[in-house]
Amino acid sequence: MTSAPPAYLNADIARRSVRLDPREPAFFNDPYPAYGWLHEAMPSFFWQEFGFWCFAGYDVVNRLLRDRRFGRENRWGPPGIVDDGRSHLADFDAVERRSLLELEPPAHTRLRTLVNRAFVSRQVERLRPRIEQLSHQLIDRIEEDGEADLLPAFATPIPVTVIAEMLGVPAESGPQLVAWSNRMVRMYTLAPGPETERDANAAARDFATFLHEHVNSRRGDPRDDLLTHMIQASEDGEKLDEAELVSSVILLLNAGHEATVHQTGNAVRTILRQGGDPRRFFATPGATAATVEECLRIDAPLHMFTRYAYEDVEIEPGITVRTGDKIGLLLAAANNDPGAYVAPRRFDPTRSDQKNVSFGAGIHFCIGAPLARLELQAGLKVLFERLPELRLAEEPRYRDNYHFHGLEKLVVRF
């Protein structure tokens, strides 16, 4: 017998339809009771507020992420057309239109090969000493205070500094990069208003202008950095044009810190809720890696990843989507599927069923996943070794943004 759903969730089981406001505080602060009920009653459902079919089960999410009948590119409503009601988003759409995340083969294949070649040439593991050094420096600044909000004091500076240094963008511009990024990602909330849209467009314009200036400067002064490698990277004589280069760098800067900041905060909260000495989770490199994977699984920073159907597809009996339909893949729900994990809400880095879809899968698997894992492993280990008495000063709350699941602040004492 199916249990009762949370009070804020209204479901029609016969029609597999759900009404669930993603801006309901009880939901975005703790979506896992809702996910648990959905797994029990209907892991595939039509989410009325979004207007498309959503999938919460691990197996189906993992399968659909890899299914080439679906993709990220909207082939039926290209942005940037003056009369489509989006003229006020021309700068934002210009960046999005050329983003790796929004393209499919063959354009995606060409761009990803060029960007990935430059990215992996840095041999990410070599950055571990720098991340550890930066982590120590940040803790040095707050250690005597005895209290801090770890989001601005620790979680944010590490990834934005690292990606800026990798790219060759001035690290001191980090706060500005974060501000532009934060303004742009507000577009991914449900039904952003005109003010949010105009602000995101202005941020995209200023971000692109900033990068065009640095690209032009680097062309005349090549260095051993990712920006230079991306300028010089080529495959079969094809180079990134400047618009593609700027969009790719914005994606790397945004993705290179946004999700990692959220995951760092979520992970600290998760670990502190276990009680005891947090250093036990970081006693060996293997334990550290397993702890990070469990943090990624149990409270992921990205909860929904959308795709478009490129043909009519029967996903499951009774669920057929038509060409051009959008679907929602609930990554964090998949990570907590009781059909895929034993006691999914139990934090257990030693679990034998460790796997997650937090970085996606298939051709859009997160290009920065190795760097994000390294930043989490090195940063969290240093944090808890330096401040083993770390404890929450207040119960943290999550931001009103369902897609990007992260804390508003993380005030701790030590």
pLDDT in tens, 75-86: 876 443 444 678
Beta bridge partners of residue 45, listed in sequence order: 54
Helix (H) or strand (E) holding 392: strand 391-392
Q: How far apart are CA 154 and CA 131, in angstroms?
A: 11
Q: How far apart are CA 137 and CA 278, in angstroms?
A: 20
Q: What is the pLDDT of residue 236?
A: 59
Q: What is the mean pLDDT of the chain?
A: 92
Q: What is the pLDDT of residue 118?
A: 65
Over residues 75-104, mean pLDDT? 76
Q: How far apart are CA 181 and CA 95, in angstroms?
A: 12
Q: Which of 283, 100, 255, 265 is nearest to 184 (CA)?
A: 255
Q: What is the pLDDT of residue 135?
A: 98
Domains of the chain: 10-413 (1.10.630.10)
* Residue 300 exposed, middle or buried by CB count within 10 Å (0-12, 13-18, 19+): buried
**Structural contact between residues 201 and 89, judged by C-beta atoms closer than 8 angstroms:** yes
pLDDT tens column, 122-155: 568 889 999 999 999 999 999 999 999 999 999 9
Over residues 388-392, mean pLDDT? 97
Lowest mean pLDDT segment, chosen from 66-75, 180-189, 289-298: 180-189
pLDDT tens column, 344-387: 999 999 999 999 999 999 999 998 898 999 999 999 999 999 99
Q: What is the pLDDT of residue 120?
A: 65
Q: How far apart are CA 382 and CA 370, in angstroms?
A: 18
Q: What is the pLDDT of residue 80?
A: 39
If you write DSSP's letter for every residue of 96-116 in order, what string do you get?
Answer: HHT-GGG--TTHHHHHHHHHH
Q: What is the pLDDT of residue 3?
A: 87
Two structure tokens written together for 385: 């070794």
Helix (H) or strand (E) holding 158: helix 157-167
Note the residue count of the chain: 414
Q: What is the pLDDT of residue 79?
A: 45
Q: How far apart are CA 248 and CA 237, in angstroms?
A: 19
Two structure tokens written together for 93: 């759409």
Q: What is the pLDDT of residue 327?
A: 98
pLDDT at 179 over 70: yes
pLDDT at 406 over 80: yes
Q: How far apart are CA 43 and CA 125, in angstroms?
A: 38
Residue 391 CB partners (closer than 8 Å, separation 6+): 272, 412, 413, 414
pLDDT tens column, 13-54: 999 999 999 999 999 999 999 999 999 999 999 999 999 999
pLDDT at 89 over 70: yes
Q: Which of 38, 40, 35, 31 is nearest to 17 (CA)?
A: 38
Q: Name the residue with higher pLDDT: 293 or 115.
A: 293
Over residues 271-294, mean pLDDT? 98
pTM for the whole structure: 0.92
Peptide bond into 106 cis (omega under 30): yes
Q: What is the pLDDT of residue 82?
A: 40
